[in-house]
A and B are shown apart, each in its own frame.
Chain A
């Protein structure tokens, strides 16, 4: 938003004050203490509630240490990941709120005009640690520069129950391709241990769809970022695979799952295989559930076009309206100090993967055979929308659950061709209504 535009300053002022007051009061209530005005410099950081809470504890600890060393205050606020888009939108709209926040998906593109450039930080860290993984870089690098610093990514491997696979006569093997998952899943379902991939309004449903679709050579948008490409024979193949998997290897519950649905499914002991970050295993360890011994991971399966993964990748962005952009940049670099980043990986129990090659050498993965294959996921990871560049249009396709709904429609009896046409229409609408970045 142009700050100097003379147009209706009262309205803007009012919005800003109103939103600022509301946000201020909300955080004040959340903190349970009166706001202290006229304090020393304060840096505020809005992040999510980490799926492994110990990681947030470590983050706060490091924030405190940074504050002490720099004679400032650092406040880390966290909130549920599903509520973040609305909160960030409110901060963007009111031009007030935190100095920096945990950006995700296409946020750097959605808010390209509102994020401060962080090219210097990215450059320095990249040189220091052997370079950024391309898929993390692509999600933060816009036409007008780096609009966020890649923070960490979350591997999205397969989680399976070894005991169920043994019982079904598969010994120590696991599905290396999606086709194998289907054939093994049929046996496993008969045994009472179906596999599970959500086909519902949740983000895991997308992560898996992208992965399967790329493995079959299917696209959603052409590389030019402008042409819808979902209506294709390749996509039809993907849909047929999903339909068969749904019928013969899964149960209808996958149509109603939220992001925690597959976690519950595998931890209940019923499910035999899911596609998800390692959080169920970590939860089982933490709660000392006996099932932890049976759970193992393997790399995301491959298809005729190879193995591909769409891991969630998160970054840190600084708002242009921040009063402390330099302090925020220093804080980011502080978090990336080797000892700090390592401690944070340990706290998250291998959930957080570094976007920088040299930081990925951490022993936590090599040490635990159940984690050893996780870093490999980075080798075949892409940002959603690939081969097109990330954009707000791709974000909108995800936000509107177009991919999951296309699958659900065909599973519920809509002919594959029509389901694809429906999706193609939604994709072209998302592309047409694209945000114009001036």
Chain B
């Protein structure tokens, strides 16, 4: 706290004493520390804890948009668990997250290792790799929507010209399996840069000497990767996977833009279904219950991963 000399003078001797006391109090470590945390804490409470509390309250009540209802206990949860669309959504979410996450992990590490190699225009390439992550998802997904269009699909057109796809080619967004592939592809495309760049940070921190020592011991590139690289980037990787699980599980944009949960709800995720039920349909209580289902699931994931990271 910078206090100008004029202020001190104007405050007079008594004031100066009070000011000094205040300053002394403020500069105590615990007071100062909490003081610094306070703004962040206020933001967290206002933007995370408060809406979260509201969501729990909504999910336990018969709450409709604009008309609050009474407490109904776990009725909303019972109702959605009994609904086939919700059970389908749970299954979709696990399939989507598991496949997308595996692909992102494998491809991400691979891409990171490629990026770590000395190359010309290294910075330019690293910057370019980040592009999918930087462009607003809703916007880039619109591009994908056109690429998967039933009539004008550039994917099918190219495939047919190259002779890899038999005409007319898959109906990307109209068939259950293909639609799931489509949303996973876009999710991987978008999430890969985050994986690669973060893993790259872990990779460059691995001391060169380890590799040299391994080479002297006669280790090939595979063994160098399994025995040196992987164990050393594991902590970074674990954190990236943790974050990515959360992002992937809670994905909304991609599915909303590409399929709106279709065909036959085979690409609905928690967030898109919650939106459909809670906002379009006005049933806030049920919408909140659907959205909150992610919480215990992700809570478990976070718990186990954090425990694993700490053990490491």
Assess the A264–B151 pair: CB atoms within 8 A: yes
Assess the B151–A253 pair: CB atoms within 8 A: yes
**CA gap between A253 and B263 in the complex, in Å:** 11
Assess the A412–B281 pair: CB atoms within 8 A: no
Count chain B CB atoms within 10 A of each CB in A202, A257, A265 and give the residue with the most: A257
- One of A107-115, A149-157, A211-219, A278-286 at the interface: A107-115
Q: Which of A200, A392, A395, A425 contacts B262 (CB 8 A)?
A: A200
Assess the A89–B282 pair: CB atoms within 8 A: yes
Assess the A433–B150 pair: CB atoms within 8 A: no
Q: Scoring B residues 154 to 178 as 1 if CB is less than 8 Å from chain A, else 0, what string do you get?
A: 0000000000000010011111100
**CA gap between A438 and B179 in the complex, in Å:** 43
Please, which residues of chain B bring their CB within 8 A of the CB of A408? 262-264
**CA gap between A203 and B22 in the complex, in Å:** 65
Does B137 make an interface contact (CB < 8 A)? no
Q: Nearest chain A CB to B21's CB is how many angstroms away?
A: 34
**CA gap between A146 and B306 in the complex, in Å:** 57
Assess the B173–A436 pair: CB atoms within 8 A: no
Please, which residues of chain A bring their CB within 8 A of the CB of B275? 86
Assess the B280–A399 pair: CB atoms within 8 A: yes
Does B265 make an interface contact (CB < 8 A)? yes
Does B8 make an interface contact (CB < 8 A)? no
Does A401 make an interface contact (CB < 8 A)? yes
Assess the A395–B172 pair: CB atoms within 8 A: no
Assess the A257–B66 pair: CB atoms within 8 A: no
Assess the B174–A92 pair: CB atoms within 8 A: no
Assess the B171–A253 pair: CB atoms within 8 A: yes
Please, which residues of chain B bring their CB within 8 A of the CB of A113? 66-67
Please, which residues of chain B bring their CB within 8 A of the CB of A400? 85, 276-277, 281
Which residues in window 67-106 of B have CB below 8 A to A?
A: 67-69, 79, 83-85
Q: Nearest chain A CB to B306's CB is how many angstroms away?
A: 32
Does A144 make an interface contact (CB < 8 A)? no
Q: In this complex, what residue of B is CB-closest to A205? A: B262
Count chain B CB atoms within 10 A of each CB in A201, A265, A412, A422 and give the residue with the most: A201
**CA gap between A256 and B282 in the complex, in Å:** 26
A selection of 8 A-B contacts at a CB cut-off of 8 Å is A86-B280, A92-B65, A110-B65, A252-B150, A256-B148, A399-B280, A404-B262, A435-B64
Binding site for B on A (CB under 8 A): 1, 85-86, 89, 92-93, 95, 110-111, 113-114, 200-202, 251-258, 261, 264-265, 268, 270, 392, 395-396, 399-401, 404-405, 408-409, 412, 422, 425-426, 429, 433, 435-438
**CA gap between A256 and B279 in the complex, in Å:** 23
> Given A433-B283, A433-B286, is A257 in contact with B150 using a C-beta cutoff of 8 Å?
yes
Smallest CB-CB A-B distances: 6 pairs: A256-B174, A255-B174, A253-B150, A92-B66, A201-B262, A256-B173
> Given A93-B65, A254-B174, A400-B85, is A261 in contact with B264 using a C-beta cutoff of 8 Å?
no
**CA gap between A256 and B182 in the complex, in Å:** 12
> Given A85-B279, A93-B65, is A433 in contact with B263 using a C-beta cutoff of 8 Å?
no
Assess the A89–B262 pair: CB atoms within 8 A: no
> Given A89-B279, A412-B264, is A252 in contact with B66 using a C-beta cutoff of 8 Å?
no
Please, which residues of chain B bring their CB within 8 A of the CB of A436? 62, 69
Does B126 make an interface contact (CB < 8 A)? no
Q: Nearest chain B CB to A424's CB is how many angstroms away?
A: 12
> Given A85-B279, A396-B283, is A256 in contact with B264 using a C-beta cutoff of 8 Å?
no
**CA gap between A416 and B79 in the complex, in Å:** 25
Does B260 make an interface contact (CB < 8 A)? yes
Does B59 make an interface contact (CB < 8 A)? no
**CA gap between A252 and B171 in the complex, in Å:** 7
Assess the A200–B174 pair: CB atoms within 8 A: yes
Does B259 make an interface contact (CB < 8 A)? yes
**CA gap between A411 and B184 in the complex, in Å:** 24
Q: Which of B67, B168, B263 contacts A255 (CB 8 A)?
A: B263
Assess the B151–A268 pair: CB atoms within 8 A: yes
**CA gap between A392 and B66 in the complex, in Å:** 14
**CA gap between A89 and B281 in the complex, in Å:** 9
Does B191 make an interface contact (CB < 8 A)? no
Please, which residues of chain A bring their CB within 8 A of the CB of B263? 200-201, 255-256, 408
Please, which residues of chain B bring their CB within 8 A of the CB of A254? 174
Q: Scoring B residues 238 to 270 as 1 if CB is less than 8 Å from chain A, else 0, what string do you get?
A: 000000000000000000000111111100000
> Given A405-B264, A405-B265, A408-B263, is A256 in contact with B69 using a C-beta cutoff of 8 Å?
no
